[in-house]
Amino acid sequence: MINRDPLSLKIFRVAGLIVWMLITLFPLYWILLTSLKPASQIAEYPVRYWPREFSLENYASLFQKSQFGSYLLNSFVVAATTGLVATVIALLGGYVMSRYEFKGKGVVMLAFLVTQMIPAFIALGPLYQMFTNLGLVDSRFGLVLVYVAMTIPFSVIMLRGFLANVPDSLEEAAMVDGATRFRALWNIIVPVMTPGIVATFIFNFVNCWNELFLSVTLINTEDRKTIPTALNGFISSFNIEWGPMSAAAVLTIIPTMVLFAFASRWIVAGLTSGATKG
């Protein structure tokens, strides 16, 4: 199969892939470049594709003019906590869904799947009311609760897909040897499917890190805002300051980009097989 293509087709293929890579990378390059230009050179026309000088002043002014440090910390704490809690809960749930047949299993699965299809905006108003009554408005803990509920369904589906690849003879052998079901799950299965678990955690982390509409609805106080909520404030002002804005965008993108690049192979496996196995 290899090397049978004529040269012209090969060149076409390589050229096409390179062009697409450049198109994909350009917005990232552009926002990074904008963030590193001195403030005076951002509003400049014709545009410069390589700045005369580099500067970190946009980053400095971002941290001076806004509480970006708090936003970063809030986003990190909320996303990491949610990722951890949701992944553990979904692992237990996914284990049952993958290993056992029981009455109502189809309904449970459907209930998880349906949440992926409904426009979530319907829930925003009632959630706000509910959280007002519970005293959870403006609370990072409250945000974690909603995010855990938001990320569980897909995590269950994804982990169930990964679990299907682990033969159940493994944990049966352990249980014959006297281990409890939980021990067998924890000591035998978890180590085998670490890639799947890490991928699920990263997927959840990134989803929470990026979530906008729930956090905008539930968080008002400046020092409790997550990054997307803060960015929403930035673009709502009449005159967007593109210098600090681009610095904020770069600092938002980099952590999740690194995480995704690290786990992309496993996430792709989880999405393409786990998601279609429903």
Partner 1 sequence: MDVSTPEVTSGTGVNGARPARRRNFGRRTALTLLAYLAPAFVFVAVFTYYPLLMGGQMAFRRWSMLDLTSTPWVGFGNFATLMADELFGKVMINSTIWVIGSLVPQFLIGLLIALGLRRNFKLRGVYQAVVFYPWAVSGFLIGILFRWMFNSEFGVINDMLMRLHLSSEPISWLADPNLALFAVIVANIWYGVTFFAIMILAALQSVPDELLEAAALDGAGRWNTLVRVTLPTIRTTLLMTILLRVIWIFNFPDIIYGMTGGGPGNMTQIATTWMIRYTQQGEYGLASALGFIVMAVLVVFTGAYLAILTRENRS
Contact 42, 243 (CB under 8 A): yes
Q: Which is nearer to partner 1, 224 or 267 (CB)?
A: 267
Separation of alpha carbons 196 and 113, rounded Å: 20
Number of residues that bind partner 1 (CB under 8 A): 97
Q: Which is nearer to partner 1, 60 or 268 (CB)?
A: 268
Check binding of 154 to partner 1 (CB under 8 A).
Answer: no
Binder to partner 1 among 78, 137, 146, 189 (CB under 8 A)?
A: 146
Q: How far is the CB of 70 from partner 1 (least distance, A)?
A: 19
Q: Which stretch binds partner 1 (CB under 8 A): 51-59, 65-73, 186-194, 203-211?
A: 203-211
Separation of alpha carbons 225 and 217, rounded Å: 11
Check binding of 124 to partner 1 (CB under 8 A).
Answer: yes
Positions 207 through 226 that interact with partner 1 (CB under 8 A): 210-213, 217
Positions 164 through 183 that interact with partner 1 (CB under 8 A): 164-168, 181
In the numeric block, which tokens belong to residue 225? 């805002």
Check binding of 96 to partner 1 (CB under 8 A).
Answer: yes
Q: How far is the CB of 101 from partner 1 (least distance, A)?
A: 5
Check binding of 277 to partner 1 (CB under 8 A).
Answer: yes
DSSP H or E stretch at residue 12: helix 7-36
The residue behind tokens 């593109």 is 242
Binder to partner 1 among 72, 97, 218, 247 (CB under 8 A)?
A: 97
Q: How far is the CB of 66 from partner 1 (least distance, A)?
A: 15
Closest to 267 (Cα-Cα) out of 148, 154, 118: 154
Check binding of 55 to partner 1 (CB under 8 A).
Answer: no
Question: Who contacts 136 (Cβ-Cβ below 8 Å, separation ≥6)?
Answer: 142, 145, 218
Q: Which is nearer to partner 1, 69 or 167 (CB)?
A: 167
Closest to 201 (Cα-Cα) out of 260, 125, 118: 260
Residue 24 vs residues 18, 249, 254: alpha-carbon distances, Å = 10, 16, 15
Q: How far is the CB of 229 from partner 1 (least distance, A)?
A: 11
Check binding of 25 to partner 1 (CB under 8 A).
Answer: yes
Our CA dihedral for 124, 125, 129, 135, rounded to 10 degrees, sits at 30
Q: Which stretch binds partner 1 (CB under 8 A): 27-35, 50-58, 68-76, 189-197?
A: 27-35
Q: Which stretch binds partner 1 (CB under 8 A): 63-71, 192-200, 218-226, 244-252?
A: 244-252
Q: Which is nearer to partner 1, 152 or 219 (CB)?
A: 152
In the numeric block, which tokens belong to residue 157? 């589906």
Indicate the length of the chain as a whole number. Answer: 278
Q: How far is the CB of 206 from partner 1 (least distance, A)?
A: 6
* SS3 assignment, position 52: coil
Measure the N-to-C terminal CA separation of the chain; round to a whole number of Å. Answer: 33
Amino acid of residue 66: S
Check binding of 134 to partner 1 (CB under 8 A).
Answer: no
